[in-house]
Structure 1
Amino acid sequence: MRYFLSAVTLFLLILSRPVMADIILMDDFQDGKSDGWQAMGKGDVRLTKYKKNISLYLSHHVMVVTAFSTKGYDKVAVALSFAAKSLEEGEYCIAEVSGDKGQSWHEINKVGDGQDDAISLHMGSVSSEDLNDKAKVYIRVRITGNKDNDICWLDNVRVTGRKIRVGADNPHAFPVESLRNGSSYDRPVEMWAFAPVHAVKASPFEGKITFDGGRIEGFEALKDDYGYGRGGKVARMPSFAVDFVSSGSDLIPLRRGLILSENPQWDIILEPGKIWREAGETGFSRAAIPFALQEKNANCTHNGVITFLYDEKGITSQVAVQISSETCLYFKFDLWGYGTATYSPASVTGSAGVIEAYGQEKAARLPVKPIHSLAQDYPGVNPDNFGSVAEVNPDDMTVYGLLVDGIHYVGGCETRYGAFPYCDVLDLPSYSP
């Protein structure tokens, strides 16, 4: 009974394909089968059809249960929808999930009196760490009615997760020898490799970075509707020469915004990054600079990070480059590998003003909390209903959030290889309808 979804409109919802969540279980009953759902209790369980949509019908006081495995997955999320009819006060359609063999249950969705117009589909979702990497997870769906005409319709059951990669629970900075030798970068790495892990104070940074651009060896097109990836031209990075200055751990480009390039495919945007030393490392510091490639004469934007080693004389390593997310419907790719650049230390004209302006920019930002803090700040609010997998496929979500009473509650900022480490300067395009 798929008519319309009752849902909360999200603030700052940007579509892309960053997360690469896998579908573990999906059942919308459109195949005319309810295999795997075991019924028990008093009432009727059957498939019903309205126009072209098929749903699982439950009546009176019946329950259905199904089981599945999440072995090898984390970030597991469960979503489903209910429609209902003739529910009275205290009667509900309830869906729950358990990752501990039924010892405890997480509520996915609950619909009661006042939501039972037999038309509206009400979605709900939940995610929990104890659903991750389990040999067996159970979903139970029940109706707590007292008559045969108390009805729930179950639809759009969806379980998603992210495949666990070896080493994903052991964050580390990009290996020093790999950066120095330009080696061991056969596949994209977790994005936290481009961010501080055990940071201590770095050497100050002031001068010009000249990035040579050119072809980056690692490239995989994930969606390419117009064949842009053919011939390898899009795997060529634009070059740039831009002054940077550090302020504490911030590394600030003196030129912000879109930089037009001679590259036939891409212009580039450079954002403030970080400098640091990893504890125990001596003789050099690290730098990371978030950037975005923007398609020429278009708004498709592909976000990435570069990182390298430096000392007071210049860059002392190869430059590692990785792109693992985008806001682009028709062209999605991973890019990874090494490039070359030089750092020319020198006093930069106007650096004091740039440092002051960036400090003011940071101070003017809204206070930020993770979106799961909504449950603590506003009891009764379910954060899982925002950015829900029932509304937006995790593969198509870049960031989402909610502004409440001057607080920016933030969710998402995922890539295909973990969270983007510089979400506060992530470049997001705007599109005209």
Structure 2
Amino acid sequence: MRQQLITFAMLALCVAVYVPQDAAGREGEVFKAPRTQLTVEQLQGTELLPMIDMSFFAEPDWATGEPAAFTGTLILSGAPLEMREPVERDVYQGEHIFPAVRIGFVPHDGQLIPRETGIIDTREWSDSFWDVIVGTGAYWREEGDDGWSRASFPVHLVDRYIGQVRNCVGTFVYDEQEVSNVAVQCSQESADVNAEQLSNIRAMVPADYERGAWHTAASIISLHEQRVANRFPVAPLSEIDADGKISAYFDKRIWTEAPTSLGAVYMDGTLYAHPPVTRHGVYPYPDEMRYGVYSTTKSMAGALAMFYFAERYGEEIFDALITDYVPGLADANDWQGVTFSHALNMATGTPVGEEATMLLEPLILADTAEEAIANIAGLGAWPEGPGEKFTYGSTNTFVLSYALQNYVEEREGPGVPYWDLVHKNVLVPIGADDFDLLRTRGDEGTSRIPSLAYGAFPTRDNAAKIAALIADEGEFEGRQLLNRNKIREALGRTNWQGYPTPEFWSKRYRHSLWETPVQAGLFCRIDVPFMLGYGANHTLFLPSGIVVFRYMDEQNMDIKPLVRAVEAVRSSCG
């Protein structure tokens, strides 16, 4: 696995790309009565089915009759994943295996609600490369199914190393006693186009049914209904994009058939969303779709945590010394004088090297937090001192995560996970409690800490809720959840300039937010702070108050045309 992932990191630096060619779902057959794909006979068989339009996985408008309630556990066996064979790299160990996993479901009013909405670690049951995140699906009945009921559900394959996501849907038929195989299709992803990770995926997964009611069913249903009620209203992007200039930007093809996983504009409390187009039609569960946002995690989770603890404990946390809270770095010369603020701002003056290779060996391949810290301590010398120069390195953010854990335990007591406090006091109040992110693999219990550098898996509502909280300077419904002053610094609303960056897409970096100037109109020049993750996953904060989301794999770093298109809807210059 180590050598395979090193190959992946090196390929990420190359320009050769793989473009999935199968776009049959874009022009091919869509679902209409009578059903011609995913029939009962096909689902009961073992033959691998072709890639088809995603509409076949959704409940049709003409569903009829009363379906049997699916109550209990869907037990999926490990099965081969049919995906493009990489040409330039070896297959990662377990990459071609759909994981064996147990998924508990609660039925309610036609919805199939999973018991667990976070990452399900599959290592207990499987040798697969993938963990899973399951979303709320549906169950129904169709004429011609000879008494069988149907169900489908969003299932996302997430790697447990750096955070790519394969957006899949599974479907099966069932009766009171048994289930068919589960047909799985993945036609969209958040992955690395340069490392040949984009591919259509399909599987026919053997399944079993462990029937039984959950004693927690009422609370699971209540929590789900509360999440749905608290979501931002969603409207078609076309309502504010009559000339189609914003949607044209989201649809612009560079390498692949379906470049944008999420395209949306948040304005005045409403999320105006572009259809979640895959290579085989529209994804049927847009509210449940998960995104792998890579280094956007540094802002979405890392800055969020720092802003929260600055409010909880005081702004002096930004000046706390890393060496006081990371014993493994206490005697490392390069880390003397480095503060939490330096780590958040990529100005530690410590070795980072080439991001792809220096990130992989010390951090991604380290199973435990202690192993990662020991690796980072041995990276060597660096000419700049703390606070002297911006030098991007994900190792900085992981060190901050480790330091935060010890800082919080010093104040709250041993064994209190810092992310639990962020979850309870920030994510739950704003309605983003199902937001999840990667943690260290080899640690147990409270010793598993988030990397904070990568590995966040938001839904679109999660992303919008967190961004809106930051745009509102940490205030939510009259309560100050995050430190206002530090957020204002990050958004460029104070005199603090942050750190100059050498990148063509950005001029400054402040508390994990990038910033670039944009000529938004003839007499309108604005500075745009933004979150950024690998692949060109952008969250843009416009001075007008609008927030723009564009998550993609395409590496399109030029955000200026998108900013100008949105500025035509509401100008930041009045």
Question: TM-score, normalised to structure 1's length?
Answer: 0.56
> What letter corresponds to residue 161 of structure 2 in structure 1?
N
C-alpha contact 1:18 1:395 (8 A) present in aligned 2: no
Match among 118, 125, 134 for residue 257 of structure 1: 118
Distance (whole Å) between structure 1 residues aligned to residue 31 and residue 136 of structure 2: 27
Corresponding position: 1:425 with 2:291: no
Q: 1:236 aligns with which of 94, 97, 109?
A: 97
**Equivalent position SS for 2:168:** strand
Shift of 1:421: 0.8
The question of whether the paired residues in 2 share the 8 Å contact of 1:308 and 1:319 is answered with: yes
Contact 1:208 1:241 in 2 (8 A): yes
- The letter for the 2-side match of 1:213 is G
User: 1:278 aligned to 128, 134, 142, which one?
Assistant: 142
Asked if 1:325 is matched to 2:188, the reply is: yes
Q: Deviations over 1:114-167 (max 9, x none)?
A: xxxxxxxxxxxxxxxxxxxxxxxxxxxxxxxxxxxxxxxxxxxxxxxx8623x2
How far did 1:353 drift? 0.2
Conserved? CA contact 1:18–1:326, under 8 Å: no
CA distance in structure 1 between the partners assigned to 2:67 and 2:166 by the alignment: 29
Match of 2:235 among 349, 353, 369: 369
Larger helix fraction of residues:
2
The match for 1:99 is: none
Which deviates more, 233-242 or 275-284?
275-284
Distance 1:224 1:426, change over 3 A: farther
Cα distance in 2 for partners of 1:177, 1:407 equals 43
CA distance in structure 1 between the partners assigned to 2:136 and 2:235 by the alignment? 21
**Which residue number in structure 1 is paired with residue 276 of structure 2?**
413
Q: Which has the higher strand share?
A: 1
Q: Aligned partners of 1:428, 1:354: CA distance in 2, in Å? A: 23
Q: In structure 2, what is the Cα distance between the partners aligned to 1:19 and 1:193?
A: 24
4+ aligned runs moved over 3 Å, structure 1? 17-22, 168-173, 223-226, 279-282, 380-386, 390-395
How far apart are the structure 1 equivalents of 2:257 and 2:162?
A: 24
The equivalent of 1:342 in structure 2 is 208
Deviation string, structure 1 residues 282-328 (Cα, Å, up to 9, x no partner) = 4110011211111122111111111111111221x221111121100
Check if 1:389 corresponds to 2:255.
no
Deviation of 1:381 after TM superposition, in Å, equals: 7.6
In structure 2, distance between residues paired with 1:192 and 1:381: 24
2:57 counterpart of 1:199: no
**TM (normalized to structure 2)?**
0.43
Alpha-carbon distance, 1:281 to partner: 3.4
Contact 1:301 1:327 in 2 (8 A): yes
Once the two structures are TM-superposed, the CA of residue 385 in structure 1 deviates from its matched residue by 4.9
CA distance in 1, matches of 2:286, 2:113: 15
- Structure 1 distance, partners of 2:220, 2:75, is 19
Structure 1 residue identity aligned to 2:278: T
Q: 2:156 aligns with which of 292, 298, 305?
A: 292
The whole-number CA distance in structure 1 between the counterparts of 2:87 and 2:109 is: 41
Per-residue deviation, 1:257 = 0.7
- Return the letter of the residue paired with 2:145: E
Shift of the 228–260 alpha-carbon distance from structure 1 to 2, 3 Å rule, reads same
Contact 1:19 1:395 in 2 (8 A): no
Distance 1:18 1:397 in 2: 16
Structure 2 equivalent of residue 352 of structure 1: 218
The 1-side partners of 2:171 and 2:255 are apart by 32
Higher RCO, 1 vs 2 (CA within 8 Å, ≥6 residues apart): 1
Q: Please state how far the C-alpha of 1:355 moved relative to its aligned partner.
A: 0.4
RMSD: 3.0
Distance 2:27 2:253 in 1: 22
2 CA distance for matches of 1:429 and 1:403? Answer: 20
Q: Quote the Cα distance in structure 2 between the aligned partners of 1:390 and 1:268.
A: 29
How far apart are residue 418 of structure 1 and its match? 1.0
Structure 2: how far apart are the matches of 1:406 and 1:19? 37
Instruction: Tell me how far apart the structure 1 counterparts of residues 110 and 263 of structure 2 sit (CA, whole Å).
Output: 27
SS in 2 for 1:177: helix
Q: Within 5 A, what are the aligned runs for 1:20-99?
A: none
Q: CA deviation at 1:275?
A: 0.6
Contact in 2 for aligned 1:199/1:276 (Cα 8 Å): yes
Please state how far the C-alpha of 1:430 moved relative to its aligned partner. 2.6
Look up the match of 2:75: 210
1-structure distance, mates of 2:21, 2:237:
19
The alpha-carbon deviation at position 345 of structure 1 amounts to 1.6
User: Is contact 2:55-2:281 (8 Å) kept?
Assistant: yes
Q: Tell me the distance in 1 between the aligned counterparts of 2:171 and 2:289.
A: 16
Name 1:398's counterpart in structure 2: 261
SS in 2 for 1:228: coil
The residue correspondences of 1:111-190 to structure 2 (distance < 5 A) are 164-165=27-28, 167-168=29-30, 170=32, 172=35, 174-183=38-47, 185-190=48-53
1:358-379 superposed Cα distances (whole Å, 9 cap, x missing partner): 0111111111111112246xxx
CA distance in 1, matches of 2:97, 2:271: 37
What is the alpha-carbon distance in structure 1 between the residues aligned to residue 230 and residue 206 of structure 2? Answer: 36
Q: Distance in 2 between matches of 1:353 and 1:324?
A: 33
Counterpart code for 2:268:
D
| CA distance, structure 1, for counterparts of residue 225 and residue 26 of structure 2 | 39
Distance 1:381-1:270 versus aligned 2 partners, 3 A rule? closer
* d(CA) in 2 for partners of 1:268, 1:302: 9
Aligned-partner Cα distance in 2 for 1:169–1:320 = 16
Which amino acid letter does the alignment assign opposite residue 365 of structure 1? R
Distance of aligned partners of 1:259 and 1:163 in 2 relative to their CA distance in 1, 3 Å threshold: closer
